[in-house]
Amino acid sequence: MKGKVVEVFESYQGEGLYFGQRQVFVRLFGCNIGCKFCDTKVDYYFECEPEELFKKIVPFKKSYRFISFTGGEPLTQKDFLKEALILGHKHGFKNYLDTNGTLPEALEEVIAEVDIVAMDFKLPSSTGEGNFWEQHRRFLKISSIQDCFVKAVICLSTTEEDLRQALKLIKEGDHNTALVLQPNSFEPQKELLEKVSRYQAICASAGVVSCVIPQMHRILGIM
């Protein structure tokens, strides 16, 4: 079995509740959706088997606990990903899955090997795509057996209606997790910060803990 891998590198986690933590990153090729704010559109990759991949990862073992599997969307290569996750545990790593939260069937096949799920809410008014509410609902239910948090990119186009729908899904799933509000890096930050401040108040009134964390790797100028 061979997977399509864009790169393997070490850096700081730049998004979500684990921002600032140094991790080993495995960026897998391919995604099933096309968000208008995507910053990882690539047309190159190399192919390798899971064991070959880990020849690149094992040297990092003494310095890092976590492997972050990111993309693209890692779950588009679920069979390769599952074998890589198994090897991650075998080599003593914790597995961190950064995912768009739209492929619940694929998640169900790998969730036992995942330690942390960093799930995006793909809000239709933010992404320019259709809605994924049902996929997100099922994804949250499956991911609840592991440590999971959710994040949503907030754009000038993001509607309050979409935010409230995301909060409804979090409440339905009884998730005791924070929602990370992430201002879109490609738009004016002053206007967005005013918006996310209002959205944070909406989260509080809905009983969902939220925090505002921009893409720190962009601010710091790192990968």
**pLDDT tens-digit series, residues 199-212:** 999 999 999 999 99
Q: How far is CA 18 from CA 45, 53, 61, 166, in A?
A: 27, 24, 19, 21
More confident: 36 or 83? 83
Containing domain of residue 207, as a range?
3-220
- Report how many domains make up the chain: 1
**pLDDT tens-digit series, residues 132-158:** 999 999 999 999 999 999 999 999 999
- Report the alpha-carbon distance of residue 200 to residue 204 in Å, rounded: 6
**Most confident of the ranges 3-7, 18-22, 42-46, 167-171:** 3-7
- Report the alpha-carbon distance of residue 51 to residue 49 in Å, rounded: 5
pLDDT score of 220 more than 60: no
> What angle is formed at CA 185 by the lines to CA 124 and CA 208, rounded to 5 degrees?
55
> Tokens 């960093």 correspond to what residue?
118
**pLDDT tens-digit series, residues 12-66:** 998 899 988 999 999 999 999 988 777 777 889 999 999 999 999 988 887 889 9
State the CATH number of the domain containing residue 203: 3.20.20.70
CA 93 to chain centre: 18
Mean model confidence pLDDT for the chain: 91
Q: What is the pLDDT of residue 39?
A: 72
Residue 52's SS3 state is helix
Q: What is the pLDDT of residue 219?
A: 54
Return the closest-CA partner of residue 131 out of 143, 117, 146, 121.
121
